[in-house]
Structure 1
Amino acid sequence: MSAPRHGILNLHPSLLPRHRGASPIPAAIIAGDSETGVCTIVMDAGLDTGALVRVDRIELHGDERAPALEELLADLAADTVEGTLRGWAAGSLTAVPQEGDGVSLAPRLRRSDGRIGAMTSAHAAWAAWRAYQPWPGVYVEIPGVIERLRLDLIDAPLPASDAANGSLSLDDEGRLLLHLPGGALPLRRVTPAGGREMDGVDLVRGRPEIAAAHARIAS
C-alpha cells in the first residue's frame, strides 16, 4: 500500500469509525441511526481504520430499505469522488485520524441473521426486513406447520394488541398479521418453504392452521 505516491484511497458507506466492515448499510438501518454517509479514507493495514480525507453525510428517516440506501450513497460518492481525488493529489486535503470512540463493527451477513423469533420486537423485525434486502431476507419458522416462511413484503408495525407474541391472525381488513412484542406486522407477501410467493391472506386460505389459536412462530 506504500507503493503509490499518494497512497490508496477507499470509499466506505458509513460514518467511520461507526460500522467498520462488510455490511455497513444494513448495520445503519438495524441500529436505527439518524444519519449515515460516505467516508473517503487512506487505506492502511486495518479494517476500515484509515485516516479520513472526506466525510459526506445524509439524514436517515427510519424507513429506508437497503437497496435504495445503497443507491443513494453510491450517487453521493460518485458526485464527490473526482473533486476528492484532485484535491488529494494536489495536496489541498488533509487526512485526519479516526476518533477512538464510537467504533462499531458490521460483519459479513449470515443467512441466520434474517431469522425472526417470537420475542423479536416488531420494530426490530421491521428494521431487519428493510436492512436484509435482497439477502439474506427475513423469515420465521412455524413448528409443525411450515419449516420456514420467508417474509417478502411487509408493512410498518401496527399498534400492539392482546394477541400472544409469535401468533398469526387475520384482521378485520383481511390482512395476515404477525404479532410480536410492541406491535403487529402486516405480512403482505410471503413464500413458504418449497412453495411460491403469494399474498399473506392466500397462504391462510390454503393453510388455515397457520392462523389457528395454537400456531406460533418459533422463539
Structure 2
Amino acid sequence: MYRVVFMGTPDFAVPSLRALAARSDCVVAAVVTQPDKPVGRKRVLTPPPVKRVAQELGLSVWQPQKVGADDVINQLREVKPDVIVTAAYGQLLPQRLLDIPTRGCLNVHASLLPRWRGAAPIHRAILAGDAETGVTIMEMVRALDAGPIVGVEKVAIAEDDNVGTLHDRLAEVGARLLMQVLPGYLDGSITPTPQPEEGVTYADRILRSDEFVDWRRPTDAVYNHIRGLSPWPGAVTTWNGLDVKIWAAERVPGEVIGSAPAEPGQVRNVAGVGICVRTGDGWLKLKQVQPSGKRPMSADDWFRGIAAETVQFQASEVKA
C-alpha cells in the first residue's frame, strides 16, 4: 500500500484527487491545499474546491500559508509519503519538501511540456491560437515545470473551445493519465524522460493588462483573445469610459456585413446577422457581453438597451 500526499487547490485538481482516493493500492494520507479565501462582493470566506472534496471523502486536510515552513515540512516527514502528487497547488515547493517522499513527486500539468510552463497554460494555449494542447505528468524538480516527463496525452483544441470547456476536458484527462502512469512510476518500470531543450515557452499568469482587447488586431487573434479569457477573467473593452466585458463571440464572413467603411472597434447591428464589431481585417459577431455594474446579457439585449445606431469601442488598452 503506497502512502500519497496530494497537493492541489482549484477545480482542475479535483478529478485527480478523486481518482487517487479511489485506488485500492494507495492511501491518501493527507491533502494539502491553499487557505480559505474571501470571495464575492460580500467577501465570504470560501474553501477551495479541493478542500471541499477532501472533506467529503473524509481525508485529512492541511492549509498552510507557506508550504515550506518548518512545521509543515516536519508534518510531512511524519506522514512518510511514498509519493507526493500535485495539481495546480499554487505555491512553489522547496527542495527539502521535494526530497521527503521515498519515490518522488509528480505534477499534473495542463500543457504539452516544455510548451507553456507556468501558471496559465490553458489560457495561453488558446490566446496563442494553438491547435492542440494536452496534459503532462512530470517528475518535479526545483525549476518551474522543468522536470522529466512520466506521461503525456494530447488534446485537440476545438474552434469553439474556451478556457472553461478546455479546462474541464484537461482535468479529466489529467486524472486518467495519472492513473495510467502512477503504478509504473512507483514500481520503477517507467523511467522519466528529460524534457527537450527546444520549444520552451512560459504561460505567465493573466494580468489585468492582458484582458483588454485590441480591435485593430486580425479577426482570428481577437476571437482567440475573447475565448482565451472566458469564463475567467473575461476580455475587456471600453465604451463611454466604462468597461464592457466580452464573454462570447463568433466569426462572421466579411461579405455579409457589406462594404461600408468602419474603424476597428465599431459596433453595428447587422440585419440578419446580429451585433457585429469591426476588427483589423474583418468582423466578429458579439454573442454575450457584460456592461460595467450589470449581469452578463446577450449582445442583442445590450445593444437594444443603449438605443444607438453605432457604438465605437476603444481600440486598445487604455489602462492597467
**TM-score calculated relative to the size of structure 2:** 0.63
What whole-Å deviation, never above 9, does each CA across 1:86-119 have from its counterpart, x for those lacking one?
Answer: 1011111011111111000001112321211231
> Which residue does the alignment assign to 1:150?
245
CA contact (8 A) 2:137 2:177 kept: no
Query: Take 1:195 and 1:126, find their aligned partners in 2: how far apart are those partners?
Result: 23
Contact 1:123–1:182 under 8 Å retained in 2: no
Cα separation, partners in 2 of 1:3 and 1:205, compared to 1, 3 Å: closer
Question: Residue 272 of structure 2: which of 160, 169, 173 is its match?
Answer: 173
Distance 1:28 1:99, change over 3 A: same
The match for 1:205 is 304
Map residues 86-97 of structure 1 onto 2, 5 A cutoff: 86-97=183-194
Structure 1 residues 157, 104: CA separation in 2 closer, same or farther (over 3 Å shift)?
farther
Cα distance in 1 between the residues matched to 2:174 and 2:270 = 44
How far did residue 19 of structure 1 move?
Answer: 0.2
Q: Are the structure 2 counterparts of residues 83 and 176 from structure 1 closer, same or farther at C-alpha, using a change threshold of 3 Å?
A: closer
- Counterpart code for 2:165: A
Q: Structure 2: how far apart are the matches of 1:58 and 1:218?
A: 33
Distance 1:198 1:59, change over 3 A: closer
1:110 alignment counterpart: 207
Work out which of the two has the higher radius of gyration on C-alpha atoms and give 1 or 2. 2
- The alpha carbon displacement at 1:146 in A equals 4.6
Root-mean-square deviation (Å): 1.9
> In 2 relative to 1, CA 146–205 (structure 1 residues): closer, same or farther, beyond 3 Å?
farther
- Kindly provide the amino acid, as one letter, of the partner of residue 33 in structure 1: D
Per chain length, whose mean CA-contact separation is higher, i.e. which structure has more relative contact order (CA < 8 Å, sep 6+)?
A: 1
* Contact 1:149/1:190 (<8 A) preserved: yes
* CA separation of 1:19 and 1:118: change in aligned 2, threshold 3 A: same
Between 181-190 and 202-211, the greater mean CA deviation after superposition: 202-211
Larger mean Cα displacement after TM superposition, 78-87 or 3-12: 78-87
SS in 2 for 1:14: coil
Q: Do the aligned partners of 2:215 and 2:222 also contact (CA within 8 Å) in 1?
A: no
Aligned to 1:123: 220
SS of aligned partner of 1:168: strand
Counterpart of 1:159 in structure 2 is 254
Deviates more, 1:96-105 or 1:23-32: 23-32
Which 5+ residue runs of structure 1 have no aligned equivalent? none
Conserved in 1, the CA contact under 8 Å of 2:288 and 2:299? yes
- Residue identity opposite 2:247 in structure 1: D
Q: Aligned letter for 2:266? A: S
Larger deviation, residues 155-164 vs 121-130 = 155-164
Q: Could you tell me how far apart the structure 2 residues matched to 1:216 and 1:113 are?
A: 17
Per the alignment, do residues 34 and 61 of structure 1 end up closer, same or farther by CA in structure 2, a change over 3 Å counting? same
